[in-house]
Structure 1
Amino acid sequence: MSIDALPPLREVIAKHGLSAKKQLGQNFLLDLNLTAKIARQAGDLSSYDILEVGPGPGGLTRALLAEGARKVVAVERDARCLPVLEEISESAPGRLHVIEGDALAVDLRPHLTAPYKVVANLPYNVGTELLLRWLTPASWPPDWQSLTLMFQREVAERIVAQPGSKAYGRLSILAQWRCDVRIALHLPPQAFTPPPKVSSAVVQVARLDVPRYEADARILSDVVARAFNQRRKMLRASLKGLLPEIEEALILAGIKPTQRAEEIGLEQFCALARIVADQRKS
């Protein structure tokens, strides 16, 4: 049986008695037109391995295979979904590798040929944690080339937010420092079964070979975390534990000590991180 000949997802769910589990952050996307649209956002798939996290009943998995993915590595911790994914695997011999486990705990490197692409309707309860891990590897550039990910709309807006907005924060900076980011699609709650209480969005994250501005990754992450953990405070207060002479460092970076984190752009944060690194060496 080919991918196109597989039964509708609603029939598959009924046959296998599947229902989305809240504790696993599941909301199933059953519209195959939408899953195809998401898969296409990742561009050419024919020369890449694709990592999918939380495939569930396999709607997006089908789309990735139908769009020509060289291989799909699907990580699923819900054992109820494994027989469904096995049926999809039989329709695309040798192109779908299913791993039962928690994507936060499984070492996927042996199963993927770099550079690979990540395309996933991420479970809500682990989406942000996975993104942060992908954005902060031990070395850059990472093994992945792009991330095409479904998030709650609020998280998606944080990823692409600009200075001055309420959504702007640590996630915005870590994503935009070394990647091009954009919201590719918006999806209403009614697109999912069961409908979540919030809207969703697909974010496209394309890695850059080198960061936009020079900075030590650990120091930048520390600076940004301190700044936004107390985002209502002036930076001279929220960052006072970074250096003894923090006000001088802020001024050197072109930042007024009375400014707040949400007013500071990526370039200025990177400049401050470089100054912190230099002063710690001296």
Structure 2
Amino acid sequence: MAQIDGLPPLREVIATHGLAAKKSLGQNFLLDLNLTARIARIPGDLSQADVLEVGPGPGGLTRGLLANGARRVLAIEKDSRCLPALAEIAEAYPDRLTVIEGDALEVDPLQHLTGPIHVVANLPYNVGTELLIRWLTPQVWPPYWQSLTLMFQREVAERIVAQPGGKAYGRLAVLAQWKAEARIALSLPPEAFTPPPKVSSAVVHLTPRPAPAFPADPGVMERVVAKAFNQRRKMLRAALKGLHPRIEDKLEEAGIAPTDRAETVSIERFAALARALQG
């Protein structure tokens, strides 16, 4: 494993600071600095950008981002055990790393960042999906981030990029692809992590569209999609029954058969339904 900076190997860092991964925090540490450097390169040139990293742990990806030239990294870490290791990285990269101890669901990163901003993170498994939905549903679009480069369980990554007609296609795919271009940029086997998770992982790269792919009110669109997939085995005329007294007429107005199920409906048709309901 090649070194990307003058700091010790991550296994040594973990041993020195007693950083056994905690299942309760959704931790699986990526120790191969070659892999963390590859992930850090996915967003492109970061020399003129700030980076938000969630759940840096012992700092493998943090080091990759800084070695790759990120102007500045804001790392939000809930596990206080990791702070001494991150402080060592901050010392090696003066004025380029800020570490906040806290819950990423509660911290406002914009108080500490200057645009342009990229988000790069090996997300804790237990909050990854919730954070992604928050980043995709801000009050104002385009969002503050220029790209999201996020590691998930492979199954979640496939749900983000899924196309209509399959079991993986759902609310996550519709919201992500309506608002952004999404692709799987890198796959990682369980043995790349310590401890090895039971499943493979993948890095998803998302870049925001200037405007959603098809016009629709975001609040209505999100409500329609959530309700449609909440009972995905039902025909849409039943799953969406509470949204409008003449839901079958609205479905047909949007070009959707009332007997269709959510997993067969394209993002364009969902947007058309949201417009029909709003009208």
TM-score, with normalisation over the residues of structure 1? 0.97
Q: CA deviation at 1:199?
A: 0.6
Alignment partner, residue 256 of structure 1: 257
1:185 aligns with 186
Q: C-alpha displacement at 1:60, in angstroms?
A: 0.3
Q: Which residue of 2 aligns with 1:233?
A: 234
Q: Provide the residue aligned with 1:108 in structure 2.
A: 109
Q: 2:161 — aligned with what?
A: 160
The AA in structure 2 aligned to 1:207 is P
User: Is 2:38 the partner of 1:37?
Assistant: yes
Measure how far apart 1:209 and its partner are: 1.1
How far apart are the structure 2 equivalents of 1:226 and 1:18? Answer: 42
- For the residues of structure 1 that align with 2:209 and 2:108, how far apart are their CA atoms? 24
- Structure 1 residue 114 displacement after superposition: 2.4
User: What is the alpha-carbon distance in structure 1 between the residues aligned to residue 115 and residue 262 of structure 2?
Assistant: 36
Cα distance in 2 for partners of 1:178, 1:121 equals 22
Describe the superposition over 1:156-186 as per-residue Cα deviations: whole angstroms up to 9, x where unpaired.
0010000001000000000000100000011
Secondary structure of residue in 2 paired with 1:165? coil
Moved over 4 A (4+): none
Instruction: Assess if the C-alpha contact under 8 Å between 1:3 and 1:88 holds in 2.
Output: no
Cα distance in 1 for partners of 2:199, 2:179 equals 29
Query: What amino acid maps onto 1:200 in structure 2?
Result: S
Structure 2 residue aligned with 1:141: 142
The equivalent of 2:201 in structure 1 is 200
Distance 1:5 1:180 in 2: 36
Q: Distance in 2 between matches of 1:18 and 1:115?
A: 33
Distance 1:172 1:229 in 2: 14
Post-superposition offset of 1:3 = 6.5
Whether the aligned pair in 1 keeps the contact of 2:76 and 2:101 (CA below 8 Å) is yes
Query: 3-state SS of the aligned residue for 1:5?
Result: coil
Q: How far off is 1:115 after superposition?
A: 2.8
Q: Is the 8 A contact 1:48 1:116 kept in 2?
A: yes
Distance 1:74 1:24 in 2: 16
Contact 2:48 2:116 in 1 (8 A): no
Amino acid of the structure 1 residue aligned with 2:170 = G
| Structure 1 vs Structure 2 CA RMSD | 0.9
How many angstroms apart in 1 are the aligned matches of 2:244 and 2:116? Answer: 39
In structure 2, distance between residues paired with 1:87 and 1:274: 53
Aligned positions of 1:60-99 closer than 5 A = 60-99=61-100
Q: Which moved more, 1:63-72 or 1:38-47?
A: 38-47
Query: 1:133 corresponds to which letter in structure 2?
Result: R
Residue 120 of structure 1: aligned partner: 121
- Please report the TM-score for the alignment, with normalisation by the length of structure 2: 0.98
- Between the aligned partners of 1:55 and 1:162, the Cα distance in structure 2 is 31
User: In 2, Cα distance between the equivalents of 1:4 and 1:227?
Assistant: 49
Note the residue ranges of structure 1 that are not aligned, 5 or more in a row. Answer: none
Q: Secondary structure at the match of 1:57?
A: coil
Quick one: which amino acid aligns to residue 36 of structure 2?
T
